[in-house]
Every structure is written in C-alpha cells, then in structure tokens.
Structure 1
Amino acid sequence: MKGRKSGNYTNPCLTMHQPWASLLVYGIKRIEGRSWPAPIRGRLWIHAASKVPEVSTIKAMEDFYREIYAVNGISDLKFPEHYPVSRLLGCVEVVGCVKCEELASWEMVPEGVRLEGQTDYFWLCEQPRKLLIPFEMRGYQGVYNLERKIFEAAVRGLTSVESPLPVKFPIPNPRDPFSLKPGSISMLFPNPKASEVEKSSSLSAAIAGARSAATQFSKKDNNLEATIQINAHDSMGTGQTPSRFLEEDKLPSTNLEEKSHEKVLASSSNELSSRNRYEGSS
C-alpha cells in the first residue's frame, strides 16, 4: 500500500482486461487511457485480468484497430493468437502523459494514434516487449509493484515485439525525461486546433463497436464498487479490518471508456497479506 500511495514504485505493474492488455504488449495499442495521470515513467509491466473476453469483444477491438491503422496506410495487422487471462504478459515503456485535448491537436503523432481514445488522460507507451511464456499471477487495483521473485523471473523471459507502426512520442525537453506531462503540449502550442480525421462509415462503425465493447460491464462493476466501499467504510468505523477488498480495480483496458473495469473479491487474511507483499511496501 505504501508503495502505491507514495509513488515509490520499483517494478510497477498495471492489470488490464483482455483483449486490451495483449494489444498493448503486442504494440498494436499505443496509448492507455485513464481518468488519472500516469504516476510513473519508464517500464510498466502489463498483467491480464481474470475476465475471459467474449468473442464479440475481441472482434470489435480487432476491427477497431484495423480501421485506425488503415488511416495511416497500414493494412496487414497481426493480432495475438490467444488472449490469456490471469497472466503477466510483458511490459511497455511509459514515456509521458497528456490530456485528451492535447492529443487531439498533436499533429506530430500519427492520425491513428489520435483516434485511439476519449478519456481524460493518455499514458504514452513505447517499446513493447512480451513474455515468451506468460505466467500466472493475480492482479490488484491501480499501479502496484511486482513481487521481487516474479520480477526476476519475468525480466529473463522478455522478447522484443515488432509493432505494425512504431511511434516515437516527441519529448518537449530532451534533457528532461519527465517533460512530457499534462499541459506540456499546450505550452508548446498555445492555440491548439483539434485535428479532425475524416471518418469513413467503416471507421465510424468500428469506433462505435469498440465503445460498446468497452462499456459492456461498467454498470455492474460500478454498482459492485459502491457496495464494497460502503461495507469497507462501515468496517473501518467500528475499528475492524474490512474482510474483503478489491483485487483488481481501475482495469479500463481501453482508451474509449476508462470506467470499464473488473473487481475481484478476496476474503481471507492470508490473501490480504499476499496483496500487501505484491504492492511492494519499501
């Protein structure tokens, strides 16, 4: 808990739903949309949540990426053969974070990238690498630290990924690796104008399908979150430790609807102890 709250990350990891998790590790997905700015720069491990993706969800997202890559003339995309769940998949390099309106007007990045999301903040990802053999582990809410033994095993099994259209996000100040942050693009271009990409009927349909896929379980999970928060508050008010906690929170695996996420409940004190170890308090 201390590691996440203070930003003291050593081997940060983010749990995401499938198919978005694999699409990010395979370099097809290039930005991760969230309602909160990226708390890190550098390597971010990607873990796939336990929810098995529906065939229709996979098709919707693959169709979406086919269409937005076609905007930049890329027609031959190789998607993952499988979308494993409850597995550590690989990692990406988070090089910065910008606001929604900044990305929309940032003409220095490909048009397709600007079509990827509609959330408040975009985590900009480069250098995807995948594990040759994804291995099983559990995930937790927010950004958390990998357990040391898991990190040591994972770092030996990484292999580079050939992205269909690699993106190098320009850093405003090459001497400052943290200069690509919310507001930095607005400072460079004080009078931004959103770049409108002409949308064909197939592109518009793909965007609508991706939105539908992203929001299919958001209402159910939001209700669950509210119930758990009330129960936790009641327990803390009596001086008792809550008997349940969210194992996987803020799992929006798509930029199109960040609020879609999965909650997994654990009920034993042993699980609570395991969670604290995974989150890496220093």
Structure 2
Amino acid sequence: MKGGGRAGKQGNYTNPCLTLHQPWASLLVHGIKRIEGRSWPAPIRGRLWIHAASKVPDEATIKAMEDFYREIYAVNGITDLKFPEHYPVSRLLGCVEVVGCLRCEELAQWEVLPEGVRLEGQTDFCWLCEQPQKLLIPFEMRGFQGVYNLEKKIYEAAVRGLVPVESPAPVKFPLPDPGDPFSLNPGSLSLHFSDSKGSEIEESSSLSMAIAGARAAATQFSRKSQNFQSNTIQNSRPVLRSQMRSKSAEENIITEANLTEEPVEENLAAPTVEQSKFINHEGSSSQRHQPHADLKQHAGAPSKIFAAALRGLKPS
C-alpha cells in the first residue's frame, strides 16, 4: 500500500504500525512503558511498529509521564530508571511485540504480574507489550490514525536497523494457551478471578499525584482530536471567512500534528475532578488554556458586523 494506510478492522495487517504522541512513543520503544492503553482492543498479535506523531511534547507533559513511571517502578523497588535523552517527532522509532490485550479490571487483578505493571492499566483496553526494539536511526515518515501498514520500502529498511533494548524490568505475560496467540483476549482471564477480588495496591500520595498528572497530560490530546474531527466536517463545505472567525480559537487551531497525520488517541483515561484540581494547582492545565479566554469573549464580533451590514443593504 503506497505511503502506508489503514488495514481493515478484521486484520489484513502485513507490517502493522501505530502512531503515538511523545513522550509515550519513546517510552514504549525504550521498554519503560509496557502497557499501551486504548479505548479499543488490539486487533493484532506480534510485531507492532511504533511511530512518533509530529507534535513536540512540552516539558510539563514529559515531566508528568516520567514522574508517573518513576512512581510505579518504585512500587517494585526499581529507582534507577534511565529515560530517553530525546523524544523525536515524525519518526518511526522501533517496535514491540503485542502478546495480548485485557480490560483494565482484568490487568489490575492479575496477581502474577508485578504491581507496577498492573498500575499501568488506566484505560478500557490494555495492550500487553514485550521485547522492545529501537531503530539506530529513526526514519522520518507520516503517520495515520489507528493501526496501519508500513510502506514496504520503509519496512525493508527499518527491519535492518533494529537493535534490542534492555528494559529496566522486562515482563513476560503468560498466555493461557501458548499455541493460540489470541488466547489472551479481553475476558479470557475472567474465570481466574471469579472467586477473588485481587490484591489491592496501596497508593501513596506521591503515586496518586503521579497518576493524576499522567492522566491529565494524556487528556489534552483527546480534546484536540475531537476539535480536529469537528473542523474536518466544517471544512468539507464552503465557509465564509466571517463564519470561520466567529469560531472559538480553540476549535480553529490546526496544529502541525493535524496537518501531517490524523489525531492520535490518548493513552490514559480522563482525570477526575479531584485530579484536575491537582493539575490546575501545578499550573500546567490552567496556564495552557488561558490565552483562549479573551479570544472566546470576542468570538461573535465578526458575525454581528456581518448582520449589521445586511440590515443596511437596500434593494437596487
């Protein structure tokens, strides 16, 4: 498929790839991130190529995610995490092996896994990732939404440049049926938990704050994805300039990520009210949206001028 593209929902994947925002993309390829969170189940098993979207991550987002992983690894006594020095964008970074997919409730109750791994499950569906490999030289390329196939030429070049990554705490997800790669599907472990509620992980205040910060950092992309989809519908038919200007600034911003690839889903669930209060206290969320406040107050001015002009017209 020239230039890459989406495969069908039921499969037809030859060299499947997934585009993620940074810093999540690099954290996955470097073996720090072991669970890829989505609102839909993984359609593939085996190698999944990881591509970084074009949006440059801000320092607050990077810090929130690095703090999150420091805390959940510390639960298992690992305190010497080494994070990537750089978070490149618009690049094919490497790959992981997707060995299964569970609902977050199942992952949280799966006591065979380390506590830190179970804490990574913050979304409806958790893609279980092993064996990270990175490219010595990341390839510049465009991404797409959902799982799509790599262009053949890109795949052939990339597969020769892979090197194994030494994860800080490699995890092995045991398959219920080693002969069936899809045996670890949502609901496949339900029988194991019928008489057990699973062990609860005691969360310290620092861990709770780190989880809240990570969720809030991820939520920013879900809003932009919704805005982009709204703009796509609006832009499919002729629109007067005055109508475009009457939209709020937040709805009309088209970022570099929108221009190069379709919106990428967030990796964590939306924060609760209490979690949002924490983020606003830190100053990241409230400061980020402050510039739009004044613009929204004057959003209707051009349309009022247009209406006044129409009232002043006289038949010729």
State the TM-score, normalized to the length of structure 2: 0.74
Q: Is contact 2:107-2:121 (8 Å) kept?
A: no
Number of residue equivalences: 248
In structure 2, do the counterparts of structure 1 residues 246 and 108 end up closer, same or farther at CA, with 3 Å as the change threshold?
Answer: farther
Q: Is contact 1:95-1:126 (8 Å) kept?
A: yes
Q: Name the structure 1 match of 2:287.
A: none
Q: Distance in 1 between matches of 2:87 and 2:68?
A: 17
In structure 2, do the counterparts of structure 1 residues 208 and 227 end up closer, same or farther at CA, with 3 Å as the change threshold?
Answer: same
Gaps of 5+ in 2: 239-257, 272-316
Q: For residues 90-131 of structure 1, give each alpha carbon's deviation from its aligned partner in whole angstroms, at most 9, with x where no partner exists.
A: 000000001111111111111001111321111000000000
1:178 Cα deviation (Å)? 1.4
Q: Name the structure 2 match of 1:9.
A: 13
Q: Structure 2: which amino acid aligns with 1:26?
A: H
What percent identity do the matched residue pairs reach?
74
- Alignment counterpart, residue 87 of structure 1, candidates 85, 91, 102: 91
Gaps of 5+ in 1: 236-244, 259-282
Q: Is contact 2:40-2:125 (8 Å) kept?
A: yes
Q: For residues 139-166 of structure 1, give each alpha carbon's deviation from its aligned partner in whole angstroms, at most 9, with x where no partner exists.
A: 0011000000000000000000000010
1:231 Cα deviation (Å)? 5.4
Q: Is contact 2:9-2:43 (8 Å) kept?
A: no
- Alignment counterpart, residue 248 of structure 1, candidates 261, 272, 277: 261
Q: Is contact 1:64-1:210 (8 Å) kept?
A: yes
Q: Is contact 1:130-1:159 (8 Å) kept?
A: yes
2:55 is aligned with 1:51: yes
Q: Distance in 2 between matches of 1:34 and 1:137?
A: 23
Return the structure number with greater relative CO, CA threshold 8 A, min gap 6: 1
Q: Distance in 2 between matches of 1:203 and 1:138?
A: 35
Q: Distance in 1 between matches of 2:84 and 2:117?
A: 20
Q: Distance in 2 between matches of 1:231 and 1:33?
A: 31
Q: Structure 2: which amino acid aligns with 1:185?
A: L
Q: Is contact 2:221-2:265 (8 Å) kept?
A: no
- Alignment counterpart, residue 207 of structure 1, candidates 211, 220, 224: 211
1:252 Cα deviation (Å)? 3.0
Q: Is contact 2:225-2:263 (8 Å) kept?
A: no
Structure (1 or 2) with the greater helix fraction: 2
2:186 is aligned with 1:173: no
Q: Is contact 1:3-1:9 (8 Å) kept?
A: yes
Q: Name the structure 1 match of 2:163.
A: 159
Q: Is contact 1:116-1:256 (8 Å) kept?
A: no
Q: Is contact 1:97-1:123 (8 Å) kept?
A: yes
1:250 Cα deviation (Å)? 5.6
1:169 Cα deviation (Å)? 0.4
Alignment of 1:1-282 (within 5 A): 3-229=7-233, 248-249=261-262, 251-252=264-265, 254-257=267-270
Q: Distance in 1 between matches of 2:82 and 2:269?
A: 22
Q: Distance in 1 between matches of 2:174 and 2:145?
A: 30
Q: Which moved more, 1:26-35 or 1:179-188?
A: 179-188
Q: Is contact 1:141-1:246 (8 Å) kept?
A: no
1:176 Cα deviation (Å)? 1.6
Q: Name the structure 2 match of 1:278.
A: none
Q: Is contact 2:29-2:133 (8 Å) kept?
A: yes
In structure 2, do the counterparts of structure 1 residues 229 and 96 end up closer, same or farther at CA, with 3 Å as the change threshold?
Answer: farther
Q: Name the structure 1 match of 2:291.
A: none
State the TM-score, normalized to the length of structure 1: 0.82
Q: Which moved more, 1:201-210 or 1:221-230?
A: 221-230
